[in-house]
Amino acid sequence: MHIPDGFLDPKISIGMTGAAVVVFGYSLMRVREAVTALRPAEVLAAAGRGAGNVAGSVGRVLTGDGERAIYKMGMVAALVFAAQMFNFPISQGTSGHLIGGVFSAVILGPFAGTIVISVVLAVQSLFFADGGLLAMGANIVNMAFFGTIAAYYIYYFLKKLIPEWMAIWAAAWAAVPLAAFACALELGFSGTIPFNQVIPAMVNVHVVIGVAEALITLALVNTFRTMLKGEGQP
Amino acid sequence: MKKIFWLAVVISIAAAFFASTHPDGLDFAAAELSFAEKGQDRTAPMPDYSLQFLPKGSVSTSLAGVAGILITLAIFWLAVYILKEGSKKMVKSKVFLFLVCVFYILYFSFNFSPAFAARPLVTDDFYTVAQGGYELEMGYASTQNQASLANVTTLSFKRGFLPNFDLGIEVPYTSSSPAGFNDILLHAKYRLFEQNGDEGMTARVDFKFDNGNLSQGLGSGDNDYCLMLIYSKMIGQTKVHLNFGHVNVGINAGIQSDDYIAYTAALEYPAWGEKGDIVAEYAANNANFSPNPAFVQFGARYCLASTFKIDAGYSFGLNNLTLRNSLTAGIHWEF
């Protein structure tokens, strides 16, 4: 679902880039808070800095758990990148591939998951010409916001009602048509193709792709949890 | 953690061999609703998950996949480094510099655009390196002077910053005795006008650093400036280049010297069509202290690939000042 350059109107591209900056920036802030801790005042004093600076950036240091969390994000990102290369066949000469948003959000939390998917999308666009440069903002909004944060909250609420694996299944399935719907709206607003044609076309095919996404997500979540169990991490 | 890395590698390799090549959901919809042609192709270091120096196929894709995994991981490693050490320290660190260099080489080495070789000619042409493009030239020259023999390897690197502006650096290294670096040359080229790609005029400013060790016989002992006008015109199939420059010789290390005017003219004839050409030039100046007496050079250039040329030339002096004869060979690469 990587939109190439040329599909979107410049106004939509710029707007989506702005939205992506907000989404990514907010996620980055949340993750930074989670992986760092306030530097103790006595350390700051020893370094010659007053207590007034504690609230500033100099006051935060990376914690040991935070460092491990970032390495874990890297591993999830590598896994998502590899899994996105694997196009599986769908009927009628179509294929689909994993988005991985729900997988990374379930493992890492919604904001770290968004960062992981955004980084994967940026690497794909910059190094592999997969997804446009101007369209990167739109791709991040579609897959790293709707396919990750929005889908995570579906999982979050369903988890309270049904067993976790079913919640993962449902959220991962819903993430794909949701992202496809957002993508179709962007294409429609760009004037590339009328809404009444693009929305059914995109949503129909991605409802099917979503089934595979859900199965792969379940498999990946179980694999990841099993593999990291021995290393003392959930 | 390592297990996850290997799992990712295995998946990407498996993807290269077994993944479906059918269009994905969006591409399928685009083809179905016929707006696929609106998509623009772009270049990247590894377009379509393939390494360009390998034939397209599963091996190329699996290597590109592993490269992608490593790039992705490197971004998170870098994040840890920044949070640990601070961004200022990171920018200063050699590891970061190395990564930036690798990124640049990776990123721009495949986005090439046509530019033009100057080597083996001393005479320059009016072309500038394409915007965002790079040009690397390496040449070896063995020059026999009246008194001595000098073997010099010159590395020249240019980048196009605007469609009509490039900056370059030239580093000559003498490998014969006395060995060492000669004076480094920096130059900026600004194209003033161009017509149909076969006639144009360019201004060039050179600055020569006196970094050679004169006491060991390297470099001229001066910081020199040079302003040069370059005019090129295509006559039939032959390209004619005329250079006219004023050289401001700095006084350094106690050597008395005067400013002078240098002029050169060159012809390029495409003897092998697109593939290669033969070149001839005449260069002279009116310096009374002559670092560069009149000489004539003949040479040939041949394209091994669209962006890679090899060249060779022979030059001989026309007067009894310094240069007697010189042989040169080199490469020219645009990326």
At A211, which CATH number? Answer: 1.10.1760.20
Cβ distance B21 to A95 less than 8 Å, yes or no, reads yes
Average pLDDT, rounded, for chain B: 79
Give me the domain span that covers residue A168: 10-26+87-229
Tell me the shortest Cα–Cα distance from A118 to chain B, in angstroms: 11
Determine if the peptide bond prior to B291 is cis (ω within 30°): no
Q: Which two tokens stand for residue A13?
A: 């591209």
Q: pLDDT above 70 covers what percent of chain B?
A: 84
Q: Look at residue B255 in the predicted model and tell me its pLDDT.
A: 55
Q: Would an 8 Å CB–CB cutoff place A129 in contact with chain B? A: yes
The domain total for chain A is 1
Integer-rounded Cα Rg, in Å, for chain A is 19
- The residue ranking higher by pLDDT, B41 or B186, is B186
Query: Would A66 be classed as within a structural domain?
Result: no
Q: For residue B335, how far is the Cα from the chain centroid?
A: 8
* A59 close contact with B: CB closer than 8 A: no
A36 lies in a domain? Answer: no
A-facing residues of B in 103-122 (CB < 8 A) are 106-107
Considering only CA atoms, give the Rg of chain B.
25
Q: Mind telling me how many Å the CA of A152 is from chain B's nearest CA?
A: 22
pLDDT at B285: 78
Q: How far apart are CA B240 and CA B231, in angstroms?
A: 8
A18 shares contact with chain B (CB less than 8 Å): no
Of A6, A123, A206, the CB nearest to B38: A6
Confidence of residue B40 (pLDDT cuts 50, 70, 90): confident
B86 has pLDDT over 80: no
The C-alpha of B21 sits at a distance from chain A's nearest C-alpha, in angstroms, of 7
Distance from chain centroid for Cα A174: 14
- What's the CATH architecture for B134-334? Beta Barrel (2.40)
Q: What is the pLDDT of residues A190-214, one digit of tens each?
A: 988 899 999 999 999 999 999 999 9
Instruction: Please check whether residue A221 is in contact with residue A213, taking contact to mean a CB–CB distance below 8 angstroms.
Output: no
What is the location of CATH 2.40.160.40 in chain B?
134-334
Q: Do A87 and B19 touch (CB under 8 A)?
A: yes
The more confidently predicted of residues A209 and B147 is: A209
- A131: closest CA among B73, B105, B44? B44
Chain B interface includes A195 (CB < 8 A): no
Kindly give the parts of chain A with pLDDT less than 70.
41-59, 230-234
Does the structure show a pLDDT above 60 at B291? no
Indicate whether A15 belongs to any domain. yes
For A202, the closest of B4, B25, B47 (CB atoms) is B25
How far away is chain B from the Cα of A192, in angstroms, using its nearest Cα?
Answer: 7
Q: Is B147 in CB contact (< 8 Å) with chain A? A: no
Kindly report whether the peptide bond that precedes residue B178 is cis, defined as omega within 30 degrees of 0: yes
pLDDT reading at B91 higher than 70: no
Phi-psi region of B234 (alpha: psi -120 to 50; beta: other; left: phi over 0): beta
> Does any CB of chain A come closer than 8 Å to the CB of residue B267?
no
State residue B176's pLDDT score: 78
Residue A193 lies in a domain: yes
Residue A199 included in any domain: yes
Burial class (CB in 10 A: 0-12, 13-18, 19+), B85: middle
